[in-house]
Amino acid sequence: MTPSLRVLLVEDSEDDALLILRALRRGGLEPTALRVQDAKQLAVALAQPWDVVISDFSMQGFTGMDALAMCRATHADIPFILMSGTIGEETAVAAMKAGANDYVMKHNMARLAPALLRELHEATMRADLRRTELKLIESERRFHAFMDASPFIASIKDDSGRYVYRNQGWNKIFGLDGPVWLDDDGEQLPHERRAAARASDIEVLTRGV
């Protein structure tokens, strides 16, 4: 099945736009494209969803760097590829630092489809990672809410005996406030309470309860 692709073309040359679309089709893609030529048209187009933005580097009264800045302001992670007939190394590096994913020379159109497929794959991986991170954050939030609502004290230590988690009940019983730090070994507790906490640890390790 040929991958369908929503392509936003920022290009003031209709002939070059046709060459770009032809290169994508030769690379096994099926682009559905909209061509824009200036900032006003681009601003309107960016309100729609796109899979990729392909922009000429140099246009009349508008540049690829301008298009890149507008795109990144609203679409932080959409693949953005610059096209150019001539682009120097310093300019290419500056474009990449500004957020371009790649640049392709117009005399080497055969590289466009592979570069685009790679960027789409990496964008998908980044999106999956963000979703996983958000799920983890939500899971941790629910865990903390549940444990802090518990009438029992609870804490977690790593293999070296340092606290990595304490619920609010634990903090209240032992007279501590604020979050636990990963290097917290309980030395901030008063001596008698430190001894009680360690005695509790030993009992749990010995009896398993």
Could you say which DSSP state residue 180 is in? P
pTM: 0.66
Please give the span between the terminal C-alpha atoms of the chain, in angstroms, as a whole number.
57
Binned at pLDDT 50, 70 and 90, residue 60 comes out as confident
Pairing type for strands 52-56 and 30-36 reads: unpaired
**Percent of the chain having pLDDT more than 90?**
35
Tokens of 173: 């019983």
From the CB of residue 187, how many other CB atoms can be counted at a distance below 10 Å? 7
- Helical residues (DSSP H) of the chain, grouped into ranges: 14-26, 39-45, 64-74, 89-98, 112-149, 168-174, 191-207
Q: What digits encode the pLDDT tens for the residues 123-172? A: 888 888 888 888 988 998 898 888 888 878 777 777 776 777 878 887 77
Q: Given pLDDT bands bounded at 50, 70 and 90, which one contains residue 197?
A: low
Domain 4-132 maps to which CATH number in 3.40.1050.10, 3.40.50.880, 3.30.300.20, 3.40.50.2300?
Answer: 3.40.50.2300
The model's pLDDT over 111-123, given as tens digits with 9 standing for 90+, comes to 999 999 998 888 8
Contact call for residues 81 and 115 (beta carbons, < 8 A):
yes
Positive or negative: CA dihedral 16, 18, 21, 27? negative
Encode pLDDT of 14-36 as tens digits: 999 999 999 999 999 999 999 99
Domain ranges of the chain: 4-132, 150-207
What is the reported pLDDT for 159?
Answer: 73
